[in-house]
Amino acid sequence: MLITLLISATLFSVALGTPQVRIGKTTLTGIESSDGIEFFGGIPFAKPPLGSLRLQPPVLTTSLEGNIFNATAFGPFCLQTDLPPNQVSEDCLQLNIFRPSNAASNKKLPIMFWIFGGGFTMGGPSLYNGSDIVAKSISRGTPVIFVSANYRLGPLGFPQGAEAGDKEILNLGLKDLLTGLKWVQANIEAFGGDKKKVTLIGESAGATAAFELGLGTHIKGLAHAVIAESVAFLPPFGPERGEAAWQAFVSAVPGCTSVANTSNTLDCLQNVNSSIILQALQATGPATSGLPDVSWFPNIDGHGGLIPDDLSKLTSTMRLPIIIGNNLDEGTLFAPQDTNSTKQTRNIVINFSVPSLQIPPSKELNDTTNKLLELYPEDPAFGSPFGTGNQTFGLNPEFKRWAAVFGDFVLHAARRKISKSMSASGIKVFGYHFTDPNATAMVDIPAAPGSLGVTHGSELSYVFGPQAFGSPASPSLSAIMQDYWISFAVSLNPNDGKGSKRPHWVQYSSNNSRIMQFRDNDTVLIPDDYRHDQLQFISEHADVFSI
């Protein structure tokens, strides 16, 4: 969610060869690294969503034109405003493949399908170099293939408002990912992959997408497991919630201003060029209210849709085994550093509650919010970063309170509730809590030293290794986490006994609700009872907080 990564992945510094894979009549040419990894990038899985295909569901394409396709580089980012214009394009529905260099078409290797985060408004696959994950899988004797796919962002990927609902164009970004998975089913065997062993893995918005894709029947035959790092469980919004954001976007498109408040904006939007769309994105920009911007998050899309109802009512439809967890201080990344009043903390609860109770805030919402805030004292010793006592890092003590409330309200309570619900339904659940104090934020934001703690996204360098984000603070902990992740993707069990020595990770259950604490030199199972009263209160009031 709303994360800008500091370091873009540098692909292979030394390319040794030009591996080739044939799909239909086309030969794809990739590159091979010195450590035995092959890369094929920028492979289209859908027709370019331009012109009449803009703001429409993706159209799967499983073949390529021409005899030779150059797959030696990542494709562009989808349209977004935080990158130079020459790095973004609407023609972005492409995927990338990292595989062992000896992966013949008869190998049948498991697939790890990566979904990037970024609040559904930013990010891209090229920020994530999967080489170390594949290299680790080879060294432990359980080789895998790493696939990453792009998806449309912002108003192009998640159009809002009544018109989008009526014309059935909600959640296009999620449909892009489903289409990428369908391409994998059609073609991954040519790369040595096993299409029956696809594990979705995502972080932040990517974890939310992975979880949402796993609901219901749309995922049947496309994936067999999920790894969700810091999944956000925000209240589901119907398309009408985003009407104002949609109208503001359309109003900012030169030539389309006159139709902004009508139910017929698509014709105009489909007939302007990409530079005009990008100009409108830059003009509207992110929200400036001091609250995390969820203007372009997925919507409830009704019967037959990907998200037909409130997420809290759909968890029971998730039938895929899952690794799911959080970082210790999820909320600090989002907390405004100038937070100084209880009103600001209160507003975050009000604004992320059930929409029908918000305007104006109902008595039920006001009373429930007051009771929730009583569970989070103004004493900084109880705030986040947790375990830092009375330190305030030069900030107002309310910063730590805001961060604690937001992290629990949006992320921690959801993880615990999902774990309990899924395990009670007989689904394999493995929970974790990443608490390594040496982890650093993967973000480029001004923050008082020490104020972020073990924040949102800080586990990424441990999961991906040095070729993606530089060396993690604890290489040994990184090896342990990679072993668990790979073991799960291969066998649906993180405890295959291969690779680094590590504790046995027990399955989450009502009788044994323990989670793995990931911490350097202290990776152990712990009871899932931190902040019991606070998280229990949030969960018990799902009719208000909708988790």
Give the residue numbers annotated as catalytic, written as ranges. Answer: 204, 330, 456
Neighbouring CB atoms inside 10 A of 440's CB total 17
Alpha-carbon separation of residue 379 from 127, 433, 469 (angstroms) = 39, 24, 35
For residue 531, what are the CA distances in angstroms to 16, 404, 528? Answer: 52, 10, 9
State how far the Cα of 231 lies from the Cα of 373, in Å rounded to an integer: 23
Distance, in Å, from the CA atom of 39 to the CA atom of 87, rounded to the nearest integer, reads: 20
Asked if 527 contacts 513 with a C-beta cutoff of 8 angstroms, the reply is yes
How would you write 469-517 as a 3-class SS string?
HCCCCCHHHHHHHHHHHHHHHHHCCCCCCCCCCCCCCCCCECCECEEEE
CA angle 54, 163, 217 (to 5 degrees): 75
Taking CA atoms, 249 is separated from 285, 286, 400, in Å, by: 9, 11, 34
Please state, in angstroms and rounded to a whole number, the distance separating the CA atoms of residues 420 and 441.
29
Distant-in-sequence, close-in-space partners of 414: CB < 8 Å, separation ≥ 6: 231, 232, 233, 547
User: 3-class DSSP state for residue 61?
Assistant: coil
Contact (CB, 8 A) for 19 and 31:
yes
Cβ neighbour number for residue 529 with a 10 Å cutoff: 13
State residue 21 phi and psi, 5-degree precision: -135, 140
282: CB partners within 8 A, 6+ apart: 81
Nearest-angstrom CA–CA distance, 288 and 292 = 9
Residue 48 and residue 38 in contact, taking contact as beta carbons nearer than 8 Å: no
> In terms of Cα–Cα distance, which of 9, 204, 37 is closest to 115?
204
Count each helix (H run) and each strand (E run) in the chain, helices first.
Answer: 18, 15
Distance CA 298, CA 313 (A): 16
Residues whose CB falls within 8 Å of the CB of residue 90, separated by 6 or more in sequence, listed in order? 48, 49, 50, 54, 78, 79, 156, 274, 277
Question: How many residues in the chain?
Answer: 547
d(CA 116, CA 148): 8
293 exposure class (CB count in 10 Å sphere: 0-12, 13-18, 19+)? middle
Cα 314 to Cα 354: distance, rounded to the nearest angstrom: 16
* Residue 53: Cβ-neighbour burial (10 angstroms; 0-12, 13-18, 19+): middle
